[in-house]
Structure 1
Amino acid sequence: MIRPVAEEDAPELARIYNHYIVESVATFEETPVTAADMGARIAAVSGAGLPWLVSTADKRLTGYAYATAWKPRSAYRFTVESTVYVDPEAVGQGTGTALYKDLLVELRRRRVHAVLAGITLPNPGSIALHEKLGFRKVAELKEVGYKFARWVDVGYWQALPGKIPDCPDTC
């Protein structure tokens, strides 16, 4: 089931996200976050009028996806950056795809024109997910992050929700 985030989801969101902070370069954060941190992030996304969705299975959070403003200047107001994280136990079960499809529908409803996704490289699973949903690679930034004693590249993928084939039926 996919639904809008609730404030009481913050501890589970922190649990999922902290796995990626501690175990991977999927995020460049290096210090685990608290439930209060996640609560503040939920409030910021909600306050910006953007969607934050969670997926659940057996009453347990299995992932989340949300969008934030890409840049603060007014001409960028129709562009967002998307984020999706899946509980490691739910990876490969379609959770990320389902979350992203619903997120893209919500963004289209909000008249978002462009969605950007930053992906640390290499990351074939995330690339496959984004490209399956209509995102295309538009940039690659070399050695812009330093985590776990190594330099990490970031690629950017872009989608135009209103121009994804068959959207919203397949989004």
Structure 2
Amino acid sequence: MIRNATPADAVAIAALYDYYVRETVITFELDPVPAEEIARRITSVQELNLPWLVTEEDGEVVGFAYASPYRPRAAYVHSVEVSIYLRHGIQGRGVGGALYRELLARLRELPVHLALSLVALPNDASVALHERLGFTFAGTFTEVGRKFDQWIDVGHWQLPLSHEITS
């Protein structure tokens, strides 16, 4: 089941996200993010009329995906950065693809022209997911992040969503 996230989902999202913060370079967060901060982030994204979604299995949140403004300057208003995280261990079952397709469908209903995804490299599973969904590779920033005493490259993938924006 895929639905809009609410601040009440923040505890579950924080627990799911904590694995990626502590164990991987997939996110550049260095410290666990408290549920209160996750709730604030959900609210701030949704106040911009952008989607923050969760997917559930047996009543438990097992993934989340959201869109956020790409950059703060006005000319970027029609571009969003998209992110997705699944509970560790459930990848490869189609859950991420379904969640991401729903996120992209909702974005296509908005005045959003381009979805961008930034992927810490290497991450073959994320690259494969993005490319399966039609994202194309746009380039790599090398050694742009540092976590766990290593430099991390970030690949950029993009997906045009609309060509009809007039303002």
Output the TM-score relative to the length of structure 1.
0.93
Unaligned ranges ≥5, structure 2: none
State the match for 2:11 in structure 1.
11
State the match for 1:110 in structure 2.
110
SS in 2 for 1:68: strand
What is the CA–CA distance in structure 1 between the aligned matches of 2:71 and 2:147, rounded to whole Å? Answer: 24
What is the CA–CA distance in structure 2 between the aligned matches of 1:89 and 1:7, rounded to whole Å? Answer: 25
What is the CA–CA distance in structure 2 between the aligned matches of 1:90 and 1:154, rounded to whole Å? Answer: 24
State the match for 1:166 in structure 2.
none
What is the CA–CA distance in structure 2 between the aligned matches of 1:7 and 1:146, rounded to whole Å? Answer: 30
Q: Does 1:48 align with 2:48?
A: yes
Contact kept, 8 Å, 2:7 with 2:40, in 1: the verdict is no
Unaligned ranges ≥5, structure 1: 164-171
Once the two structures are TM-superposed, the CA of residue 44 in structure 1 deviates from its matched residue by 0.9
What is the CA–CA distance in structure 1 between the aligned matches of 2:7 and 2:149, rounded to whole Å? Answer: 35
SS in 2 for 1:89: coil
Count of aligned pairs between the two proteins: 163
Once the two structures are TM-superposed, the CA of residue 162 in structure 1 deviates from its matched residue by 3.8
1:117-143 alpha-carbon deviations (Å, 9 max, x no partner) = 000000000000000000001010000
State the match for 1:168 in structure 2.
none
State the match for 1:134 in structure 2.
134
State the match for 2:160 in structure 1.
160
State the match for 1:77 in structure 2.
77
What is the CA–CA distance in structure 2 between the aligned matches of 1:111 and 1:98, rounded to whole Å? Answer: 22
Output the TM-score relative to the length of structure 2.
0.95
What is the CA–CA distance in structure 2 between the aligned matches of 1:88 and 1:109, rounded to whole Å? Answer: 30
Once the two structures are TM-superposed, the CA of residue 75 in structure 1 deviates from its matched residue by 1.5
What is the CA–CA distance in structure 1 between the aligned matches of 2:151 and 2:89, rounded to whole Å? Answer: 28
Moved over 2 A (4+): none
What is the CA–CA distance in structure 2 between the aligned matches of 1:23 and 1:65, rounded to whole Å? Answer: 19
Matches within 5 A, 1:113-124: 113-124=113-124
1:47-106 alpha-carbon deviations (Å, 9 max, x no partner) = 111000100000111100000000112211110000000001321111110111000000
What is the CA–CA distance in structure 2 between the aligned matches of 1:51 and 1:9, rounded to whole Å? Answer: 14
What is the CA–CA distance in structure 2 between the aligned matches of 1:103 and 1:160, rounded to whole Å? Answer: 14
Contact kept, 8 Å, 1:54 with 1:64, in 2: the verdict is yes
In the alignment, residue 106 of structure 2 is paired with which amino acid? Answer: E
Contact kept, 8 Å, 1:105 with 1:161, in 2: the verdict is no
State the match for 1:125 in structure 2.
125
What is the CA–CA distance in structure 2 between the aligned matches of 1:117 and 1:146, rounded to whole Å? Answer: 19
Cα RMSD for the two superposed structures:
1.0
